[in-house]
Amino acid sequence: MQKRTLGRSGLEVSALGLGCMGMSFGYGPPGDPAEMTALIHAAVEAGVTFFDTAEVYGPFTNEVLVGRALAPFRGQVVIATKFGFQIDPVTGQNSGLCSRPEHIREVAEASLKRLGVDSLDLFYQHRVDPAVPIEDVAGAVRDLIQAGKVRHFGMSEAAARTIRRAHAVQPVTAVQSEYSLWTRGPEQEVLPTLEELGIGFVPYSPLGKGFLTGKIDESESFASTDLRNILPRFTPEARQANRALVELMAGIGQRKQATPAQIALAWLLAQKPWIVPIPGTTKLTRLEENLGAAAVELTTADLRDIAQAAAQVTVQGARYPERLEQMTGR
């Protein structure tokens, strides 16, 4: 697996990481811990060194899973986790955003224990909290870095102006936001800002929450606990309309002997050398397929064809319901 450096931070990771959320949360019932551990081990053996989790995934259980699975590989891998919500430690009830400095310190201590590490490699603010000045958030993480409890500061779904303000207090190593062929918002302001400031970019849901694999059509039904049930982009009507994007990637894939998922990931890798997508999966076959994208080389002509074809497709449906969408782009 090729390596990439997140911006000018010096943090080197595999060109493709592994998003671990779905192993415990979000896409139906949690996976079997033994099977998920085996999957994480297979990723390490394939050269993946970058793993993404968060306290809210579960809540808490995903950090425990990832920490235990990666215990044999301490010092060889980078684990990213996140703060930013007020979660009851007993009930797991999430009562909303909270990035107060004292809470950030509490979350850091708890995440260190759950992950079984001495220092958090990359500590993202999961969502910008409008009730707390971003300078205070960056300052709290700076203090944790100085104390040796955190190595790198990250942000998720933040607006360019907010990233600038935070970066002035504590350099931001990476920004994580949704980005794929059907979610292009970061191209407008965020990516140019990151390039200017020397910050890496970590696209989550790089396969459109599974849709860009081509395996989900309008007749697909999801488990009751699957978050896609509430996403406007996953109504049957939107899925039917958005098939055009998958067909575009399938056509390119036939030329390159690659699957639609591999084309979608290869397209992301081709955008900038400091972009590191983190596709998630609970299946070994999908892991192998996703990692195969690193070997797919898209030429300038391929990228031009994709751009021209994608410009003809209008993606239907918002990516989040309004309540969740309001938490992004602050």
Contacts of 87 (CB under 8 A, 6+ apart): 55, 56, 59, 60, 93, 94, 95
Has 57 been annotated as catalytic? yes
Tokens representing residue 59 in the block: 């809540």
DSSP class of 282: S
Reported residue count of the chain is 330
Three-state DSSP at 125 gives strand
b/e map 192-213, b = 16+ CB within 10 Å: ebbeebebbbbbbbbbbbbbbb
Instruction: Give the separation between CA 66 and CA 107, rounded to whole angstroms.
Output: 16
The one catalytic residue among 27, 57, 204, 320: 57
**Active site amino acids:** 57
